[in-house]
């Protein structure tokens, strides 16, 4: 009997398949938490895998793709700059860190699998110095490439890939719109957005201190502040080494150009303990110790909670917890749980203070450390803040319009490897790409001309252009001293000429199946002829069991 042509486009579905893989992993735990205490009509607990539940999330697929595109295009270009550095080429940054590499080797799947096969630690370790064929992550459309290298070199190679993360949300409702936890979920499972992954935040924490100075100490954008190191009893000088520009400047200029001396002066007026209390008040979940240096961002916080903290700016003084599930239905379409953002929203500062900060933070994206960004993305009004930590280990940018809040972070898994620039050059381009694409897409409902709402009780309007000295020559400062190398021209604003595209892809049939899936075949093996083709996916004859490749290479080396 002759079979009809068949179409085989089988795709194995796993955690790496489909949209927003980092977000979906977080979603599992959130759904489990949401279902606690809920029972089915039969009295049993719901099972997220077997009960056919329908989970409606807040993530916008188009925004998610823009976020992934912006991250991929910028990181592709940035990695080329990283790979050309002297310390990366000659491997000098690994000197003295051999124990770290050994630890990474023992934690790898390769080591665990060989141990299960019965090899001794000595044999396994020797195999890590033998070159073998393998697939490694690469910045191309497939996000991988075939190569030959030793497993130990593979560990070095993957750790030298710079990581990044991005999150976007509605600052008023708290709806999460995009979530990118890393550069590639298949290879790098560590999610740099979620609450548990924390990094030093650098100058992105400064707007919180400026807010408190206005809310509780009577400061205004025009208040003159010392741009000088401050001495704190029992702690010493902040910034360390008494490094600050000197003189005085308005508080607005201090924030726009991220002056450490001005920030230290404000910390002196507010007090470390009071600032920590304020961070708790605006719902930063991580406990922060009251060291004076936290004003410069020496504390470790997550992207998730930093965006949570920033919601009160565009949120008119209200802090709103990010949330990602709108409702859960059972298999019959009955709503078993609905989520209301209002229960996670509370007023933390006055509307006047929040509005004033929005106007003052526009100085950053107009003339400050992220100079010109607002104009380039086409927003009528926008606020933002860059952040850079000691020796450029972490680069941040957090920005917002009246309807959208987003943040980007760039750094390595291990902080002894450094970025090649500050938050403006390293992190901002990801967020800028995202905002530009979103504002150009009218279907998304994020208006270019949206403006922050002036409180009714404010007598005079605040013009952000008037509170920034137009001819000021900015010298933006990070939390640390090293501002990196290179110039703005070293960084491509919009990525490579041949864009890689987003990591997320829909789960769908292949519209153009391969020719060999269309072969006419006989449906009984007994009738198979020599010139016939076995369709893709058909089982081959079981080969004779051979030694594994690593074992054969190991034996060859020792013979």
Give exposure, 21-31, as e/b (b: 16+ Cβ within 10 Å). Answer: bbbbbbbeebb
Ranges of residues in the chain with a pLDDT under 70 are 1-17, 461-499, 506-559
526 and 473 share one domain: no
With respect to residue 343, please indicate whether it lies within any of the assigned structural domains: yes
Cα 48 to Cα 22, 180, 331, distances in angstroms: 18, 23, 11
With respect to residue 450, please indicate whether it lies within any of the assigned structural domains: yes
With respect to residue 527, please indicate whether it lies within any of the assigned structural domains: yes
What is the predicted pLDDT for the residue at 526?
A: 34
DSSP code of 108? Answer: S
With respect to residue 151, please indicate whether it lies within any of the assigned structural domains: no
What is the predicted pLDDT for the residue at 536?
A: 28
With respect to residue 57, please indicate whether it lies within any of the assigned structural domains: no
- Is residue 486 left, alpha or beta, with left meaning phi > 0 and alpha meaning psi from -120 to 50? left
Q: Which structure tokens are listed for 353?
A: 């203070």
The domain that holds 177 is classified in CATH as 3.40.710.10
462 and 521 share one domain: no
Nearest residue to 155 (alpha-carbon basis) of 202, 99, 78, 214: 99
Report the C-alpha gap between 63 and 70 in whole angstroms. 11
Instruction: Give the residue from 460, 490, 520 where a domain finishes.
Output: 490
Give exposure, 467-506, as e/b (b: 16+ Cβ within 10 Å). Answer: bbbeeeebebbbbbeebbeeeeeebbeebeeeebebbbee
262 and 376 share one domain: yes
Nearest residue to 174 (alpha-carbon basis) of 65, 254, 274, 283: 283
One-character DSSP codes across 58-106: ---HHHHHHHHHHHHHHHHHHHHHHHTSHHHHHTGGGTT-HHHHHHHHH
276 and 385 share one domain: yes
Report the C-alpha gap between 173 and 170 in whole angstroms. 6
Report the C-alpha gap between 55 and 26 in whole angstroms. 13
Query: Where would I find the beta strands (DSSP E) of 93-190?
Result: 132-136, 145-149, 163-169, 176-180
Helix (H/G/I), strand (E/B), else coil: 176: strand
Give the number of domains in the chain.
2
Contact of 419 with 425, CB cutoff 8 Å: no
446 and 394 share one domain: yes
237 and 355 share one domain: yes
537 and 408 share one domain: no
Q: Return the number of other C-beta atoms located less than 10 Å from residue 285's C-beta.
A: 14
One-character DSSP codes across 421-466: S-HHHHTHHHHHHHHHHHHH-GGG---TT--PPPPTT-SS---TTT
What is the predicted pLDDT for the residue at 556?
A: 47
Cα 354 to Cα 7, 358, 404, 526, distances in angstroms: 59, 6, 15, 78
Instruction: Give the residue from 430, 463, 490 where a domain finishes.
Output: 490
Q: Rounded to 5 degrees, what angle do the CA atoms 150, 156, 158 make?
A: 100
485 and 543 share one domain: no
471 and 525 share one domain: no
Q: Phi first, then psi: what are they for 283, rounded to 5°?
A: 80, 30
**Cα 436 to the center of its chain, rounded Å:** 18
With respect to residue 423, please indicate whether it lies within any of the assigned structural domains: yes
Domain containing residue 555: 1-12+508-559
With respect to residue 79, please indicate whether it lies within any of the assigned structural domains: no
552 and 429 share one domain: no
516 and 445 share one domain: no
With respect to residue 65, please indicate whether it lies within any of the assigned structural domains: no
Nearest residue to 440 (alpha-carbon basis) of 530, 377, 356: 377
Q: Phi first, then psi: what are they for 380, rounded to 5°?
A: -65, -40
Q: 318-320 and 325-329 as β-strands: parallel, antiparallel, unpaired?
A: unpaired
Long-range contacts of 150-158 (CB under 8 A, 24+ apart): 151/105, 151/108, 151/110, 151/127, 152/101, 152/105, 152/128, 155/101, 155/104, 155/105, 155/108, 156/91, 156/94, 156/101, 158/187, 158/188
What is the predicted pLDDT for the residue at 523?
A: 32
**Cα 175 to the center of its chain, rounded Å:** 17
390 and 450 share one domain: yes
């Amino acid at each position: 009997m002759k079979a009809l042509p068949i179409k085989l486009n089988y795709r194995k579905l796993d955690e790496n398949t489909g949209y927003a893989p980092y977000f979906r992993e977080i979603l599992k735990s959130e759904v489990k938490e949401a279902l606690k205490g809920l029972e089915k009509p039969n009295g049993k607990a719901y099972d997220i895998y077997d009960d056919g539940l329908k989970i409606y999330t807040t993530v916008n697929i188009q925004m998610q793709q823009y976020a992934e595109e912006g991250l991929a295009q910028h990181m592709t270009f940035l990695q080329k700059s990283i790979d050309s550095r002297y310390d990366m080429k000659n491997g000098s940054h690994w000197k003295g860190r051999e124990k770290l590499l050994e630890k990474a080797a023992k934690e790898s799947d390769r080591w665990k699998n060989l141990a299960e096969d019965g090899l001794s630690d000595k044999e396994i370790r020797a195999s890590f110095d033998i070159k073998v064929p393998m697939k490694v992550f690469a910045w191309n459309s497939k996000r991988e490439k075939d190569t030959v290298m030793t497993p130990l070199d593979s560990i070095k190679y993957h750790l030298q890939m710079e990581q990044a993360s991005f999150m976007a949300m509605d600052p008023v409702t708290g709806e999460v719109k995009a979530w990118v936890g890393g550069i590639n979920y298949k290879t790098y499972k560590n999610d740099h957005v979620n609450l548990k992954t924390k990094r030093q935040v650098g100058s992105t924490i400064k707007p919180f201190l400026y807010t408190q100075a206005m809310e509780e100490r009577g400061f205004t954008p025009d208040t003159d502040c010392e741009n000088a190191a401050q001495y704190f009893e029992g702690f010493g000088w902040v910034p360390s080494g008494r490094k600050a520009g000197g003189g005085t400047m308005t508080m607005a200029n201090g924030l726009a150009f991220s002056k450490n001396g001005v920030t230290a002066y404000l910390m002196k007026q507010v007090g470390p303990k009071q600032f920590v209390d304020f961070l708790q008040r605006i719902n930063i979940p991580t406990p922060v110790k009251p060291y004076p240096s936290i004003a410069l961002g020496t504390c470790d916080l997550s992207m998730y909670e930093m965006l949570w903290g920033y919601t009160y700016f565009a949120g008119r003084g209200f802090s709103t917890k990010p949330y990602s599930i709108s409702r859960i239905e059972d298999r019959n379409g009955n709503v078993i749980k609905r989520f209301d953002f209002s229960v996670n929203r509370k007023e933390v500062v006055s509307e006047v203070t929040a509005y004033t900060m929005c106007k003052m933070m526009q100085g950053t994206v107009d003339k400050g450390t992220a100079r010109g960004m607002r104009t380039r993305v086409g927003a009528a009004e926008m606020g933002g803040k860059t952040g850079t930590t000691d020796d450029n280990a972490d680069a941040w940018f957090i920005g917002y319009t009246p309807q959208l809040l987003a943040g980007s972070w760039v750094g390595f898994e291990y902080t002894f490897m450094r970025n090649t620039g500050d938050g403006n050059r390293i992190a901002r381009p990801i967020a800028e790409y995202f905002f530009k694409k979103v504002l150009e897409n009218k279907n998304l409902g994020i208006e270019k001309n949206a403006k922050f709402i002036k409180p009714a009780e404010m007598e005079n309007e605040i013009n952000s252009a008037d509170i920034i000295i137009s001819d000021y020559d900015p010298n933006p400062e990070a939390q640390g001293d090293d501002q990196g190398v290179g110039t703005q021209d070293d960084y491509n604003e919009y990525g490579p000429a041949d864009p890689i595209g987003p990591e997320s892809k829909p789960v769908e049939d292949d519209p153009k199946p391969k020719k060999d899936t269309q072969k006419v075949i006989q449906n009984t093996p007994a009738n198979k002829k020599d010139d016939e083709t076995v369709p893709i996916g058909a089982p081959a004859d079981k080969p004779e069991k051979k030694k594994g490749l690593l074992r054969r290479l190991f034996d060859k080396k020792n013979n």
